[in-house]
Amino acid sequence: MSSDPIATPDRRGLCLILSSPSGAGKTTLARLLLASDASLGHSVSVTTRPSRAQEADGVDYYFVTRDRFEAMRDAGELLEWAEVFGNFYGTPAEPVKAALAEGRDMLFDVDWQGASSIAALLPEDAVRVFILPPSGEELSRRIYSRGTDPEHVIEARLEGAEAEISHWGDYDYVLVNRNVEDSLAVLKGIVTAERHRRHRQVGLRTLIAHLAPPSRTR
């Protein structure tokens, strides 16, 4: 995909990227933000990880075999991909291209590698938000209480938390997810502010060109 600007109609869409250690709450916040904002599309990733109860194919992820993943990757269908906790994850390129071409906003739930790749490919469009838990104890409590993974998977994710958190300095915003309501409000605020960035409001040029005051008649 070209790193530059796909022509947009009257605005440039933004790529809102959420990352966090596993269990900090990014999926919860992403779902709520997407439900509250019809203008925000979801980049549904492809993964070789087994589906969890409550997850729907094509909604939370596209669940695929390793062979299928490798075929997609080798055919250049993924914008970026990474191996995380022993599974492959990747971002389908086509929906992102379509969204940007139409000036639509997209939300990405990806790890630090995905965030870094997308920001390098789309530097004008990427907005990176890192979500932290309020404490290590709370991170552990949340991932256990989610009840979606076997013990050894939870342990691996908790062990990987420090490595993921070490990349927090690469992000534009850092959010400590103490309670869902406040965190959602912060995310909405970030989206609102980022939508008002000058370079995204391409259509303003036309408005401004027509803003000359009406000539006065005496």
Ligand X SMILES: Nc1nc2c(ncn2[C@@H]2O[C@H](COP(=O)(O)OP(=O)(O)O)[C@@H](O)[C@H]2O)c(=O)[nH]1
Residues linked to residue 127 through DSSP beta bridges, in sequence order: 16
What are the structure tokens assigned to 64, written together? 């695929």
The answer to whether 215 contacts ligand ADP (rule: CB under 6 A) is: no
65 annotated binding-site participant: no
Q: Looking only at residues 61 through 120 of this chain, which bind ligand X when binding is defined by CB under 6 A?
A: 80, 82, 84, 89-91, 109-111, 113-114
Q: Which of 11, 142, 167, 188 binds ligand ADP (CB under 6 A)?
A: 142
* Among ligand X, ligand ADP, none, residue 161 binds (CB under 5-8 Å by kind): none
Q: Which residue is nearest to ligand X (CB)?
A: 114
22 annotated binding-site participant: yes
27 annotated binding-site participant: yes
28 annotated binding-site participant: no
Angle at 126 (CA atoms; ends 125, 129), nearest 5 degrees? 145
Q: How far apart are CA 200 and CA 42, in angstroms?
A: 19
Which residues have a Cβ under 8 Å from the Cβ of 205 and sit 6 or more positions away?
Answer: none
The answer to whether 177 contacts ligand ADP (rule: CB under 6 A) is: yes
Q: Which of 12, 14, 17, 22 binds ligand ADP (CB under 6 A)?
A: 22
Q: How far apart are CA 31 and CA 48, in angstroms?
A: 21
> 107 burial class (0-12, 13-18, 19+ CB within 10 angstroms)?
buried
The answer to whether 23 contacts ligand ADP (rule: CB under 6 A) is: yes
Distances (CA, A) of 28 to 21, 103, 149, 173, 183: 13, 26, 16, 18, 10
Tell me how far, at minimum, the Cβ of 19 lies from ligand X, in Å: 6
What is the C-alpha R_g of the chain? 19
Residue 144: which H helix or E strand, with range? helix 136-146
x/- track of binding to ligand ADP for residues 100-129 (CB under 6 A) = ------------------------------
The answer to whether 24 contacts ligand ADP (rule: CB under 6 A) is: yes
The answer to whether 180 contacts ligand ADP (rule: CB under 6 A) is: yes
* Chain positions contacting ligand ADP, by CB under 6 A: 20, 22-28, 142, 145-146, 177, 179-180
